[in-house]
Amino acid sequence: MANALEGLPIDACVQHWNGRRKRLLIADMDSTIIGCECIDELADFAGVKDRVSEITERAMRGELDFESALRERVAMLKGLSVDVLQRCYDERVRLNSGARTLVRTMTANGAGAFLVSGGFTFFTSRVAQAAGFQANRANTLIEAAGLLTGEVGSPILGREAKLAALREETAAAGFTPAEALAVGDGANDLAMINDAGLGVAYRAKPIVAAEADAKVDYADLTALLYFQGYTAADFVTD
């Protein structure tokens, strides 16, 4: 089927009919649920966006160790006023099309929804509320006297922590990762994408798109609902 669809603007997902509807959504935030990389946008306010964005791109492609790359990028934010975080959120962060409908529809049908990010809790807490996620995990920016110190709290939430979050959340709810849907775009999402019953690469880096069960390159995030057998009439849009 992949060969038949090659070159066409169509997203498809081949899977078993039974068990399509998942009991947990676990999603990456930056460039998945929202349309930007928050650390790159913070770097813009600090005047170092070009340098930080280059490292972000390489880390998301799997070319750099995620933890080291995150520490290097956060160090460049040293001295930035914490007030900039809210300004960045207000001016730069927007939910991707279909994000709220995806989360609201799944939770209305009894699924859990969990936002897990290699970014920062300042943003995940706000994005989770805006989209309707029930919980979120991310990294913490260290601040002192109203300024960022250039440090990030330990341990860093990266690839293995995202996988752990998937397994912990499903175990706590009494089912296995096979009943979960994981979606992301970067190399640090691969472990949870590979472990979930349905792993989706959303506008993803090549290394992720090559390994995921399905990829979404053209549609918005409601494609993940269609993959599960929902119809447009089932969507919760309020």
Given a contact cutoff of 8 angstroms between Cβ atoms, the answer to whether 135 and 114 are in contact is: yes
DSSP 224: H
Which residues does residue 120 pair with via DSSP β-bridges, in sequence order? 139
Given a contact cutoff of 8 angstroms between Cβ atoms, the answer to whether 216 and 200 are in contact is: yes
Q: Token digits for 105?
A: 């529809």
Active-site entry in 28, 40, 189, 213: 28
Establish whether 28 is a catalytic residue.
Answer: yes
Alpha-carbon span 133 to 118, nearest angstrom: 16
Active-site entry in 11, 30, 40, 195: 30
Instruction: Report strand pairing: 198-202 vs 214-216.
Output: parallel
Given a contact cutoff of 8 angstroms between Cβ atoms, the answer to whether 199 and 13 are in contact is: no
Establish whether 50 is a catalytic residue.
Answer: no
Residues that are catalytic: 28, 30
